[in-house]
């Protein structure tokens, strides 16, 4: 899911590309979105790239490839026709993969099978990390995910689905489900769910405190670290484990 601002900017890009054949400049996006500063557009573009909706060549102007529509469906240019003759029949599609549990300690950590001889507890599954304030939704969460009780401590937990590749070097991949221990504090170096007041969104990043500022570090060298004032970031929980489909 995208925030309203991210969805609006993505639609401006899509409409401009389909009308003109080229991506809009930051100045054009600022004018179309009614913004005064290009820094806001830069943050939104970085978020869209991180979540896999666009791809950019950072040293070239207007070099933007649209990858997905705001609803997550793959984007197909209007002048491209698809050959559907070779698509697999529904009967040939593989069944839903079996889940496994692992700790996000490395890029390719060993998988640990979910054990069936332990008690399980249902953890609220609040959606994708890219959208909104997940903590506020806990009391209304209708989806849950079963987790072996021995994997968790005594705290309160919730789960979120990862969207994007900004943490792959920490072993956290697109589509993984992360288990978060709810809390508003974290240690320096922890991977946290942080809510950003200015952008009205939540993100999963490594927390670094530097003097009077907070740095949210991705674990992917193609993305940049973002720096915030201490009153701009609200910690909502700390990463404890993840579930991966394979």
Contact partners, residue 55, CB within 8 Å, separation at least 6: 49, 64, 65, 67
Flag whether 135 is in a domain. Answer: yes
CA–CA–CA angle 202, 205, 210 (5° rounding): 110
The token pair at 131 is: 């959208």
Domain that holds residue 195: 100-245
4 catalytic? Reply is no
3-state secondary structure of 210: strand
| Domain final residue pick, 24, 43, 66 | 66
Asked if 120 and 42 sit in the same domain, the reply is no
CA dihedral 7, 9, 14, 17 (to 10 degrees): -170
* Per-residue pLDDT tens digits of the chain, which is 246 residues long: 678 888 888 999 998 888 888 888 888 888 888 777 777 788 888 888 888 888 877 666 667 888 888 888 888 876 544 444 444 443 443 444 444 445 554 444 444 443 444 588 888 888 877 544 444 544 456 688 888 887 788 889 999 988 888 899 999 988 899 999 999 999 999 999 998 877 677 889 999 998 889 999 999 988 889 899 988 999 999 999 888 876
**The CATH number of the domain where 62 resides is what?**
1.10.10.10
200 and 126 inside one domain: yes
- Please tell me which residue in 205, 222, 234, 240 is annotated as part of the active site: 205
Among the three residues 24, 44, 66, which one is the final residue of a domain in this structure?
A: 66
Q: Which of 105, 128, 154, 166 is catalytic?
A: 166
Q: Say whether both 62 and 171 belong to one domain.
A: no
Is residue 166 annotated as a catalytic residue, yes or no? Answer: yes
How many structural domains are present in the chain?
Answer: 2
Listed residues 18, 47, 66: the one ending a domain: 66
> Within this chain, do residues 45 and 113 fall inside the same structural domain, yes or no?
no
pTM (whole model) above 0.85:
no
């Amino acid at each position: 899911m995208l925030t309203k601002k991210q969805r609006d900017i993505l639609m401006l890009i899509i409409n401009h590309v389909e009308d003109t054949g080229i991506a809009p400049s930051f100045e054009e996006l600022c004018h179309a979105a009614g913004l005064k500063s290009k820094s806001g557009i830069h943050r939104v573009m970085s978020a869209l790239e991180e979540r896999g909706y666009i791809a950019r060549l950072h040293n070239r102007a207007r070099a933007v490839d649209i990858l997905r529509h705001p609803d997550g469906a793959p984007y197909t240019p209007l002048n491209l026709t698809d050959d559907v003759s070779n698509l697999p029949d529904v009967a040939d599609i593989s069944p839903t993969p079996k889940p496994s549990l692992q700790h996000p300690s490395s890029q390719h950590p060993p998988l640990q099978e979910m054990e069936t001889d332990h008690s399980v507890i249902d953890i609220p599954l609040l959606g994708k990390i890219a959208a909104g304030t997940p903590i506020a939704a806990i009391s209304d969460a209708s989806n849950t995910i079963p987790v072996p009780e021995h994997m968790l401590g005594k705290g309160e937990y919730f789960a979120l689905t990862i969207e994007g590749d900004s943490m792959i070097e920490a072993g956290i991949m697109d589509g993984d489900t992360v288990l978060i221990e709810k809390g508003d504090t974290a240690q320096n170096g922890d991977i946290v769910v942080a809510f950003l007041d200015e952008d009205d969104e939540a993100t999963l990043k490594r927390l670094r405190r530097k003097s009077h500022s907070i740095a949210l570090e991705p674990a992917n060298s193609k993305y940049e670290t973002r720096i915030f004032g201490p009153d701009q970031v609200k910690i909502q929980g700390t990463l404890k484990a993840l579930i991966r489909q394979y």
